[in-house]
Structure 1
Amino acid sequence: MSTLAEPAEVAAGGEPQREWRPRSYWPFVTPALIVVLAVIIFPWLFTIWMSLHEWKVGSPTTFVGLANYLRLPSDPRFVESVGHTLVYTALSVLLPLILGTLAAIVFHARFPLRGFLRGLFILPMMATPVAIALVWTMMFHPQLGILNYLLSLVGLPAQLWVFHPATVIPSLVLVETWQWTPLVMLIVLGGLAAIPAEPYESAEIDGANLWQVFRYITLPLITPFIFIAAMIRMIDAVKSFDIIFAITQGGPGSASETINLYLYSVAFIYYDIGYASAIAVVFFALIIALAAVLLHLRQRLQWSEIGSGA
């Protein structure tokens, strides 16, 4: 196939001038491919290679095949960390979705100082995680923390918060919810702004109440935005490290040790690089599986909406 363009114009000598075009797009794509290979693909291939070896810092590397992966189910700390990760992720996704959607509905209405209050509401999202962790660590203090002081004002007993195995994960979820509910609010608020006014006008003519308007008009139309927020929050929560590490370091004991924290301990405390690489590969597969589940649910919901509309 010719790479030359059709004659654009005729020169003075009677010969047509032809526009030059490159024979391939590869010269333009190759630099990006090199960057992707160097930054993403090669590190993952090297991680998979390390997971197939017994590699401890200071010791020779030995090929062990799938031994590191077969070791995972019999590792009680890894199994426990998987449970902690799933519980932490589920709560850190569900609570911001509910509260963020409610906040979006509230801030979508018109009232005085709405813009100023929106700005205040999104401030937690702008703070650095370590600074947030240090502030909440002081608030969680059993004797000097403000949270127990507030509980005492309403006659409730003081709590140990992050210093007790039964309350440490809910306490960490409280910090996560406080910081990332504004993100969900902004995403859902964009969905509310995109809804046309005609459905609400029709519902008002038909005499629908507020709950019926929300249930049959608002909620179905903002569901795609809620799924986007859920996807972002799920990926962020399942790999959360900084806040948990800064507040509890996985404690008390290992009560708040997620996969990320256990991976850090294996790699940088016990220096078992091969086993840590196997944990990293399984951790990545878990993130992909959770994202695939959300995408599948979104796809089924989309087809259900189309079928019901038909």
Structure 2
Amino acid sequence: MSTMTSLPGGRETAPGEGGRRTRDHARRSNTASPRRRGFGQGLPWLLMVPALVVLLLMTIFPAAYLLWASLHGGTLLGGNGQFVGLQNYVDVLTSVDRLKGFALILVFVVVAVSIQTALGLALAVPLSAQTRSSNIATTIALVPFAVTPVVSALVFRELFNPNYGWVGYFMGLVGLPDDIAWLSSTPLAWVLLIGIDVWQWTPFVALILMAGLKSVPQEPVEAAAIDGASGWQIFRYVKLPMILPFMAIAVVLRTIQAFKTFDSFKVLTNGGPGTSTEIINLEIYRVALQSFRIGAASAIAIVFLILLLTLVPLLLRAVGRGTDEEGV
């Protein structure tokens, strides 16, 4: 016995007719949907076109020009120059002064980032406490990070001036020599340059590590406390392994930033005394903007870039291996 199905509007359909209409509608929808899906999938790429154009103009084109210039001689004032092949690169790799510049920036980065990581961790532990005083202290501690590198260098240059600097004044009050020429001594100049970098960028490392400490779940901390673990044991065996990924991020970011250091060296020592603080960044500046030898400067910059592209992945691998060993 057949039954009829009522539809809106008083119409009736035989059994199965409604199902067939639904399937027909679905087939029509599936037939039209690929176009809509195709447009929807292509829309994000279409919206990215302006950004890609800017990226092309601001990075890829200058990089291509840098590579082209490194294969040519001449100066900015003397036209494009003739093709010299790899001669500029040979000059870079056989120049004692430029190899020394690479070595100096490497030493600076290793020492500065190591100190910043240790001090940043020591600073992040008390500042990560959820108290009003820690919030105020965090704000004060982040002040150096907000100061531009040039301003920091200028301030420190005045503070350590042997004639009227405040550092010499206070040293004289406690019976110490008050006329030390900090920037005329190679060891003292390096201490000052590294000290400025540590002063300015340690808050950056501390900020990242604070985020890591605040993200540590309380359950394992409370369990360790119940088991009788001391505060140091809780930090060493519970919190520290959990914040290693944050420490890795801080080290990698600071390493990349430290390799770009220029302002403090230019303002404070300008490579002196002699050439004892002539890092490769200063050498690129001198060759390009004082001697106007754009080809030679481009070759130095590309060798520097290759050095960075080699060291940063090695650093990432080493940090990742250390994180895996801790079981994070």
What's the TM-score once normalised by structure 1's chain length?
0.88
Cα distance in 1 for residues equivalent to 2:144 and 2:172: 26
AA paired with 1:228? I
| 8 Å CA contact retained: 1:168, 1:255 | no
User: Whole-Å Cα distance in 1 between the matches of residues 53 and 257 of structure 2?
Assistant: 27
> Which one has the bigger helix percentage?
2
Distance apart, 1:35 and its partner CA: 2.2
Q: How does 1:1-310 map to 2 (within 5 A)?
A: 18=32, 20-21=35-36, 22=38, 25=42, 27-60=46-79, 61-158=81-178, 159-306=180-327
> What SS does the corresponding residue of 1:63 show, helix, strand or coil?
coil
Work out the number of aligned pairs and report it: 299
One-letter amino acid of the counterpart of residue 125, structure 1: F
Q: Using a 3 Å threshold, how does the CA distance of structure 1 residues 151 and 290 change in structure 2: closer, same or farther?
A: farther
Amino acid at match of 1:109: A
1:299 and 1:115 map into 2 onto residues whose CA distance is: 32
Post-superposition Cα deviations, 1:167-206, rounded to whole Å, max 9, x if no partner, equal 2122111011111111111100000010011111111122
Relative to structure 1, is the Cα distance of residues 302 and 101 closer, same or farther in structure 2, using a 3 angstrom cutoff?
closer
2:126·2:134 contact (CA, 8 Å) conserved in 1?
no
Shift of residue 100, structure 1, vs aligned partner: 0.9
- Runs (4 or more) in structure 1 with deviation over 6 Å come to none
Q: CA deviation at 1:256?
A: 1.5
Which amino acid letter does the alignment assign opposite residue 66 of structure 2?
A: T
**Equivalent-residue separation in structure 2 for 1:30 and 1:224 (angstroms):** 34
Question: Which segment is superposed worse, 254-263 or 294-303?
Answer: 294-303
Q: Any idea what SS the aligned residue of 2:261 has? A: coil
Superposition CA RMSD, Å? 2.5
Work out the CA distance in 1 between the residues paired with 2:23 and 2:61.
46
Q: Which residue of 2 aligns with 1:4?
A: none
**Residues 9 and 276 of structure 1, relative CA distance in 2, 3 Å threshold:** farther
Q: Which has the larger radius of gyration?
A: 2
Q: Answer whether contact 1:8 1:18 (CA < 8 A) is retained.
A: no
Out of 51-60 and 61-70, give the one that drifted further: 51-60
> Normalized against structure 2, the TM-score is what?
0.83
Residue 255 of structure 1 and its aligned partner are, at CA, apart by 1.7
Where does structure 1 lack aligned partners over 5 or more consecutive residues? 1-6
Distance 2:181 2:125 in 1: 34
| AA matched with 1:51 | S
Shift of 1:18: 3.6
